[in-house]
Amino acid sequence: MAEMTVATLNIFNRAGEWGLRAPLLIEQFERLAPDVIGLQEIDLVLDQGMWISRQVNIRMGQRPHYRIKHAANPDTRASYHGIATMSRLPFEEHEILDLMTFERVAQRFVFRCGGADGAPFVFVNTHLHHPVEAQQERVEQIERMFAWLDRDTRGLPAVIVGDFNAYAEPPEPAVTMMKQRYRSAHEAVHGREPEKTWTTPVNTYDDSPHGTLDYIWVSKEWDVKDAGLAFDKPAAYDANLYPSDHLGLFARVGL
């Protein structure tokens, strides 16, 4: 069985003492070494995604290096805010979907699990609208994403990751909608979602409730070997300093 590690992390752009968080993020990234990772809140002015990719690659030695592909948020934030996907697997396809509301987008890729001769699969990275009360808006964004994915008639296995801004407990309509079609990798292993993926002490201004907002969703073809939190360790010298205001997730999956 071909296996790989996928992950997701909202990196909180340059906010929250990025200069202090950055080395911590790189250290934990290198330790996890995911095959594919979806990143949200990438600061395009800083070329933050490329910086992360270069720093990790410096540390990879002879191991396969990462490439990164970005998707800018449309309209007013197009010049400085977006999402990105980093992969050590070769990119075979990449397209971007404008979710058409609130400057949100999704990226869709095709990779192969297990190398050049492995089985193809779809990988999607997204970041949905954020206000707690915007439950219907998130549902509409997922509906648009589903319609987009359904246009591909190949029926490839799928992994969908990102910051859905939808609480797991009690489950919001967006979470229920995803679970009707996919499995949560974390729930498949542990029988429940994490206690929280947001927020850490890095975020000092948003008083929204703590909870799980980030997910790795997998289609039925995947065998989920392991899953859990990632980028969840504070600095040794400061218990309030984390790689981001979100905790990341990882999943070890096989076809």
Please give the tally of structural domains in the chain: 1
Domain harbouring 15, CATH code: 3.60.10.10
String of DSSP letters for 9-40: EE--TTTTTHHHHHHHHHHHHHHH--SEEEEE
What average pLDDT does the structure give for the chain?
96
Task: Show Cβ contacts of residue 96 under 8 Å, excluding neighbours closer than 6 positions.
Answer: 71, 105, 106, 107, 108
Q: Reduced to 3 states, what is the DSSP secondary structure of residue 50? A: helix
Higher pLDDT, residue 78 or 215: 215
Instruction: Judge whether residue 29 has pLDDT over 90.
Output: yes
pLDDT in tens, 9-20: 999 999 999 999
Q: What is the pLDDT of residue 80?
A: 83
pTM: 0.97
Counting runs of H as helices and runs of E as strands, what totals does the chain give?
5, 12
Q: Which domain holds residue 180?
A: 3-254
Is the pLDDT at 78 greater than 90? The verdict is no
Is a pLDDT exceeding 90 seen at residue 75?
Answer: no
Q: What is the mean pLDDT of residues 79-104?
A: 95
